[in-house]
C-alpha cells in the first residue's frame, strides 16, 4: 500500500461527506460557510497528520497525484437519486428555476473570490444537477445527456488555445453548422421519455399525502388514519391508483403503494408505466415515483367528486 492509499484510509468519509452536504444547505451565510470549510479542512488535516504532514495542503503538494479525498469509484446514477430525494425534502417541489439561477450567480461570485476552492466548483455542479431533474429529467436521462454532450464537444473543431485570450470563453468553430437547430440531439431514451412526466408521491406528518414532483397537491385526512387515494388518468384513458395510508400499528409511518383502477370488478390491470419506490429524507415515508404520460390528470378520490387537480 502506497502513502496516498494509506492516507485515504484514514479520512473519516462519513464526517467529510456530511460536512460537504451541510455546505449545500439552504444558502448558508458567509460565516456559516467559512466555519464549515474550516471543519472540512480539520478532517483532512487529521488524516494527513497520521503520516507526519503539517496539514492536508502539504500532503496534497508532496504526494504524487495529490491527496486522494474521493472514493475509488463513484456511482453517478445512485448519487442523482440521492440528491433528488434530499433536494425535494430540503427545498421543496417544483422547478425552482429562478431560485437555482439566483444561487448559481452567487456561487459564480464566490468562485471569483476564491477560485482555488474545489467545493465552490462542486457547488456549481450540484446546482446544475438539481436544475436538470427539476426540469423533468430522470437520472438516466441526465447521465446520458452528460455523456452525449461530452462526445459532441470532442467532435467539434476548436481553435488553438494558445492563440486565445485566457480570460475569455473559447468558442468552437460554428461555420458550416445548420442554423436554428438544437445544440445537441437528445439521447434516444431521453426522446422516448420526453412524452412522460415524473410524479412523486409522499406522505407528510401523519395526515397528509400528495404529489410533490410536478403538481404540488395534497390531501389532509385530519388524522383519521384512512387511506388517501390519488387516481392518475392518462390522455389515452389508462388509469392507476396511488394509495397512501399512515400506519399506527407495527408499520408506524406511511404505507405507500399502487393498484389497478377497477371499480366495476372487470379484472383491469395496471398500465405499463415505470414505477419505483425509494426511502425519502423523511424516515416515516417512502417516496413513490411514477413516470406517467404527459397530459395525465390527477384526482384525489377523497376530494369532492369532479374536483380535478390537473
Residue that the C-alpha cell 430540503 belongs to: 90
Residue 176 belongs to a domain: no
Identify the H or E element spanning 240: strand 239-247
Provide the CA 279 distance to its chain's centre, in angstroms: 14
pLDDT for residue 12? 47
**Which structural domain range is residue 122 located in?**
75-148+187-194
Residue 179 belongs to a domain: no
Residue 67 belongs to a domain: yes
Report d(CA 89, CA 92) in Å as an integer. Answer: 6
Residue 258 belongs to a domain: yes
In tens, the pLDDT along 114-137 reads: 998 888 999 999 999 999 988 888
CA angle 112, 113, 114 (to 5 degrees): 95
Q: Is residue 226 a contact partner of residue 301, using CB atoms and an 8 Å limit?
A: no
In tens, the pLDDT along 270-279 reads: 999 999 988 8
Question: What phi, psi does 94 have (nearest 5°)?
Answer: 95, 170
Report d(CA 230, CA 141) in Å as an integer. Answer: 27
Q: Using the 3D structure, point to which of 16, 51, 73 is the last residue of a domain.
A: 73
Is the pLDDT at 306 greater than 50? The verdict is: no
Report d(CA 255, CA 253) in Å as an integer. Answer: 7
Residue 290 belongs to a domain: yes
3-state DSSP assignment of residue 190: helix
Q: How many CB atoms lie within 10 A of CB 105?
A: 9
Phi-psi region of 223 (alpha: psi -120 to 50; beta: other; left: phi over 0): left
201 and 294: one domain?
yes
54 and 41: one domain?
yes
Report d(CA 70, CA 15) in Å as an integer. Answer: 13
274 and 208: one domain?
yes
Residue 162 belongs to a domain: no
Return the axis-axis angle of helices 118-134 and 97-113, rounded to nearest 10°.
170
Is the pLDDT at 194 greater than 90? The verdict is: no
Report d(CA 193, CA 289) in Å as an integer. Answer: 14
In tens, the pLDDT along 149-167 reads: 888 888 889 999 899 998 8
pTM for the model stands at: 0.45
205 and 276: one domain?
yes
95 and 67: one domain?
no
26 and 81: one domain?
no
Residue 155 belongs to a domain: no
Q: Using the 3D structure, point to which of 22, 44, 73 is the last residue of a domain.
A: 73
In tens, the pLDDT along 262-271 reads: 999 899 999 9
67 and 103: one domain?
no
Q: What is the count of structural domains for the chain?
A: 3
Amino acid at each position: 500500500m502506497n502513502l496516498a492509499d494509506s492516507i485515504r484510509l484514514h479520512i473519516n468519509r462519513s464526517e467529510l461527506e456530511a460536512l460537504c452536504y451541510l455546505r449545500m444547505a439552504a444558502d448558508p451565510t458567509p460565516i456559516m460557510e467559512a466555519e464549515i470549510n474550516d471543519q472540512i479542512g480539520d478532517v483532512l488535516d487529521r488524516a494527513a497528520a497520521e503520516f507526519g504532514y503539517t496539514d492536508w495542503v502539504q500532503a496534497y503538494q508532496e504526494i504524487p497525484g495529490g491527496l486522494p479525498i474521493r472514493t475509488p469509484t463513484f456511482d453517478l446514477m445512485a448519487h442523482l437519486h440521492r440528491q433528488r430525494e434530499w433536494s425535494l425534502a430540503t427545498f421543496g417541489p417544483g422547478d425552482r428555476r429562478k431560485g437555482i439561477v439566483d444561487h448559481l450567480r452567487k456561487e459564480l461570485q464566490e468562485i471569483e473570490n476564491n477560485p482555488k476552492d474545489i467545493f465552490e466548483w462542486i457547488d456549481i455542479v450540484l446546482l446544475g444537477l438539481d436544475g436538470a431533474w427539476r426540469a423533468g429529467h430522470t437520472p438516466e436521462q441526465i447521465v446520458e445527456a452528460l455523456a452525449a454532450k461530452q462526445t459532441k464537444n470532442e467532435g467539434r473543431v476548436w481553435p488553438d488555445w494558445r492563440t486565445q485570450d485566457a480570460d475569455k470563453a473559447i468558442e468552437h468553430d460554428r461555420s458550416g453548422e445548420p442554423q436554428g437547430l438544437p445544440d445537441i440531439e437528445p439521447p434516444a431514451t431521453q426522446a422516448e421519455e420526453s412524452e412522460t412526466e415524473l410524479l412523486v408521491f409522499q406522505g407528510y406528518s401523519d395526515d397528509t399525502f400528495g404529489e410533490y414532483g410536478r403538481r404540488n397537491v395534497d390531501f389532509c385526512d385530519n388524522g383519521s388514519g384512512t387511506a388517501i387515494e390519488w387516481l392518475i388518468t392518462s390522455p389515452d384513458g389508462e388509469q392507476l391508483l396511488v394509495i397512501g395510508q399512515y400506519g399506527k400499528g407495527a408499520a408506524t409511518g406511511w404505507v405507500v403503494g399502487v393498484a389497478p383502477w377497477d371499480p366495476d370488478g372487470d379484472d383491469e390491470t395496471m398500465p405499463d408505466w415505470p414505477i419505483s419506490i425509494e426511502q425519502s429524507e423523511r424516515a416515516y415515508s417512502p417516496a413513490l415515483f411514477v413516470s406517467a404520460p404527459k397530459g395525465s390528470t390527477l384526482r384525489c378520490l377523497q376530494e369532492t367528486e369532479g374536483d380535478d387537480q390537473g
